[in-house]
Amino acid sequence: MGEKTFYITTPIYYVNDLPHIGHAFTTILADVTARYKRLLGYDVFFLTGTDEHGQKAERAARQRGIPPQELADRVVENYARLWARLGIQYSRFIRTTEPVHRRAVQKFFRRLVDRGDIYKGVYEGWYCPGCEAFVPEGSVADGLHTDCGRAVERLQEDSYFFRLSRYQEPLREYYRAHPEFIQPEARYNEVVRFVEAGLKDLSVSRRTVRWGIPVPDDPDHVIYVWLDALTNYISALGWADGDPLYERYWPADVHLVGKDILRFHCVYWPAFLMSAGLPLPRQVFGHGWWLRAQSKMSKSLGNIISPEELLEFSSPDMIRYYLVREAPLDVDSDFSYEGYQTRVNADLANDYGNLIHRLTSMLARFCEGRVPDSSRLDGEMVTIRSDLEGWVSRLEAWVDRWAYPELRREAWVHVQRLNGLLARREPWRLMRDASTRVEAQALLGFVTEALRLITVGVWPVIPFGAGAFLERLRQPVPPSRDHLAWGVLPPGTPVAPGPELYPRIELPEEVRLEAPLVPASSVTSPSREGLTMIDLQTFMQVDLRVGEIVAAEPIEKSKKLLKLTVDLGSERRQVVAGIAQYYRPEELRGRKVVVVANLEPAVLMGTESQGMILAADVDGRPYLLEVPAEVPNGSRVR
C-alpha cells in the first residue's frame, strides 16, 4: 500500500433512469483521475454507486409495475455492465439499499439529533417530485417548477427539520478559509452567494414517501433522500461499524459532481458533517454539462446519447478520450456525432494509432522486431526528450487542477513531433544504405522510447489501446511511477506485432440520417418538461392513421431496422422501423398500428421509409401502440 492516500467519489446515480454520456462523463473523469493518482504512487479509493431510495425511484417502479428493489437491481446491473465496458476501475460500488448504508444513515441521523440540530415541525411549501425537493417560492410559476418545467405540489406535513440556519456563519467562515473547497472558481462564487442570501432550516424527513430509510424511533417518517444519499460517502467506508477504511480514507480528497447538485454537496453535506463532528471533504468539483443542441440531455426531450450506442461503432477508449478531451469543466459542451467522429479519427486513428502502427511495422521490417538501442541522441532528439520529461513532470499538477484538455493537448504535440520526425528523416530510406543504417535504427529506438513514455502518460485516459501497446513492448500494465521516466525500455526487447489499435470509425447510416436537432433555446413558446407547447392546429397537421402491417422483413446489415409494408386502406406504404431487436417479423404481420402518414420520406440503410409507426418508449425499448382489430385501415387518429 502506498503512503499517500487519495479518496475520490462520483455522485451516486438515480435508478429511475438509464445511464447516458452525462453520467459516463463524471464517472470516466473520476476514473481517469483515480488511474493517474495510482500511477503516481497514491493509495487510491474510488467510490461510485447508486442512489436507490426516494420518490423518483418509487414512481418509476410503480410505472413499470415492479417493486422498487427489483427496479434498482436491474438498473444497477446496467451500470455495472457499462462501467466494466468503459474500463471504470472503482474500488467500491455502494448501493443505498445495502444494510451497511442503512446503519450509517441512521447513526448519522442520531448524531444530528444528539447535537440538538434536529427538531420536529410542520412544513408547508412547494414540492417538486421531479427534483425531490421543496422549491423556493421564486422558482414556481403557473404551478410549474421553473428549473425543470415540471408540476409542483403544495405540501404540508409533519417533518423533522435540520437547523441549517445555525450553520450559515460557520459555512461562510469555512469557505473563506478554504477557497479550494469549491472548484472551479465560478462555482465557489455561486455557492457563497447562495449562502449569503440566508439559509433556512431544512426539512429532512418525509411522510409522503415510503421507499427509504426510516427515521430512528419514528418509522412513520422516512429520511430525506438527499441526507440518505450524501451519507454514502462515509457509509461505503464502513463508518457505522468502525471499519479502518474510514480512518484511512476520510475525509475525501474530492467529490466530483455535476453543477446541478453543487448546493447539496457544498452547503448541506458540510453542514451535516459539521453537526456530526466529522471532518469535511477537501474539495467539491462541480463540472459543466454535456448538452445536445444546446439543451441538457434528458429523457423527456429524447436527446440522450447512450454510451452503448456509441460502443456499437466505436470503442471505450474513444468515448473516454473524446469526453475528457472536450471536458466541459467550467462551461457546458455540446455533443455531436460528427464532432465525435472527426476528433477520434484525427487524434486516435491518425495521429496516435498510425504512429504506433508505422513504428511497429518498421521495427519488424528493419530491426528484426526488436527495440534498437536509443542511447545515442542527436540535438533534436535531446530537445524532444527534455520536453517530454517536462511534460511528465507537470502531469500531477494538471491532474490536480483537472486540466485534462491541456495535458492532452501537449501530449499530442509530442505525438505530432514524432510523426514529423519520421516523415522528415525517412528511416526507410536511411535503411537502404549501410552507412546510414545505424542512424535509422537509433531514430527508431528513440521514437519507440518516446512513444512508450507518452503512452504511459496517457494510459489513464485510453487504457485499452495504451495498455495493449505497452504489452506489445513487454511492459507491465498497469504501469507505475517508475515507468514515467526516460530510458526504461531495454534495447533488444522483442516487439510483438498486433492489429491496428484505433481503426477509423464511420457513423452508422441511422445516425447520419438523423433529423438535425433544433436548439431548444431558439424556441420561445412555453414549455413543459422541456418540450415546446403547440396549439391544436399545429397538432392537427400531423396525419395519424390506422394501418395494418401486411409484410415485415429484416434489412440486410442492420441489427435494428425492419422493413414493413403497411396497408393504410387506400394505399400501401413501406415503413422502416427501428424495432428489430424487440419484435420478430412473424409476430408483426396482421397487427394494427398507428402510422404518421404525412412524414417526409427518408432513406435508412438504403431503404426508403414512407412514414413512421408510433410506439411508447420505455428506456429505449419500443412498445407498439395497439389498435382494436375492428378499426378499419386508414381511419384517422386524433
Beta carbon nearer to ligand MSP, 16 or 374? 16
251 cis-preceded (ω within 30 degrees of 0): yes
Sequential DSSP letters for 6-73: EEEEEEEEESSS---HHHHHHHHHHHHHHHHHHHTT-EEEEEEEEE--SHHHHHHHHHHTS-HHHHHH
Beta carbon nearer to ligand MSP, 256 or 568? 256
Beta carbon nearer to ligand MSP, 57 or 568? 57
Beta carbon nearer to ligand MSP, 11 or 547? 11
497 cis-preceded (ω within 30 degrees of 0): no
Residue from 451, 478, 452 nearest 463 by CA: 478
Beta carbon nearer to ligand MSP, 71 or 444? 71
Residues 6+ apart with CB under 8 A from 63: none
The answer to whether the beta carbons of residues 245 and 45 sit under 8 Å apart is yes
Residue 308 beta carbon to ligand MSP: minimum distance, rounded to whole angstroms: 16
CA distance 257 to 191: 14
Kindly give the pairing relationship between strand 118-128 and strand 133-135: antiparallel
Place of cell 418545467: 149
Residue from 264, 296, 295 nearest 23 by CA: 296
CA distance 128 to 121: 20
Beta carbon nearer to ligand MSP, 188 or 583? 188
The answer to whether the beta carbons of residues 254 and 284 sit under 8 Å apart is yes
The amino acid at residue 424 is: R
Buried b (16+ CB within 10 A) or exposed e, 565-583: bbbbeeeebebbbbbbeeb
Residue 324 beta carbon to ligand MSP: minimum distance, rounded to whole angstroms: 13
Task: Give me the half-sphere count of Cα atoms (radius 13 Å) on the Cβ side of residue 65.
Answer: 1
Beta carbon nearer to ligand MSP, 14 or 123? 14
CA 408 to centroid of chain Cα atoms: 19
478 cis-preceded (ω within 30 degrees of 0): yes
Beta carbon nearer to ligand MSP, 402 or 446? 402
C-alpha cell read off for 473:
513492448
Beta carbon nearer to ligand MSP, 256 or 447? 256
Beta carbon nearer to ligand MSP, 303 or 360? 303
Residue 329 beta carbon to ligand MSP: minimum distance, rounded to whole angstroms: 11
CA distance 508 to 404: 29
Residue 51 beta carbon to ligand MSP: minimum distance, rounded to whole angstroms: 3
CA distance 330 to 258: 10
Beta carbon nearer to ligand MSP, 297 or 453? 297
The answer to whether the beta carbons of residues 8 and 46 sit under 8 Å apart is yes
Beta carbon nearer to ligand MSP, 265 or 408? 265
Residue from 20, 16, 18, 7 nearest 258 by CA: 20
Residue 234 beta carbon to ligand MSP: minimum distance, rounded to whole angstroms: 11
Residue 471 beta carbon to ligand MSP: minimum distance, rounded to whole angstroms: 33
CA distance 228 to 238: 15
Place of cell 530537445: 383
Residue 285 beta carbon to ligand MSP: minimum distance, rounded to whole angstroms: 10
Q: Which residues bind ligand MSP (CB under 6 A)?
A: 11-14, 22-23, 25-26, 51, 229-230, 232, 257-258, 260-261, 289-290, 296-297
Residue 204 beta carbon to ligand MSP: minimum distance, rounded to whole angstroms: 14
Residues 6+ apart with CB under 8 A from 178: none
Residue 544 beta carbon to ligand MSP: minimum distance, rounded to whole angstroms: 32
Q: What angle do CA 98, 102, 104 make, to 5 degrees?
A: 115
Residue 328 beta carbon to ligand MSP: minimum distance, rounded to whole angstroms: 8
C-alpha cell read off for 196:
449569503
CA distance 127 to 104: 27
C-alpha cell read off for 257:
459532481
Residue 413 beta carbon to ligand MSP: minimum distance, rounded to whole angstroms: 28
CA distance 184 to 216: 38
Beta carbon nearer to ligand MSP, 201 or 260? 260
Rg (CA), the chain: 29
The answer to whether the beta carbons of residues 50 and 12 sit under 8 Å apart is yes
Beta carbon nearer to ligand MSP, 212 or 547? 212
CA distance 490 to 523: 62
Residue 461 beta carbon to ligand MSP: minimum distance, rounded to whole angstroms: 18
Residue 435 beta carbon to ligand MSP: minimum distance, rounded to whole angstroms: 58
Residue whose Cβ sits closest to ligand MSP: 22
Cα end-to-end distance, the chain, whole Å:
67
Residue 436 beta carbon to ligand MSP: minimum distance, rounded to whole angstroms: 53
C-alpha cell read off for 31:
476514473
Residue 257 beta carbon to ligand MSP: minimum distance, rounded to whole angstroms: 5
Beta carbon nearer to ligand MSP, 48 or 609? 48
Residue 381 beta carbon to ligand MSP: minimum distance, rounded to whole angstroms: 42
Which residue intervals of 459-490 are DSSP H helices?
A: 463-472
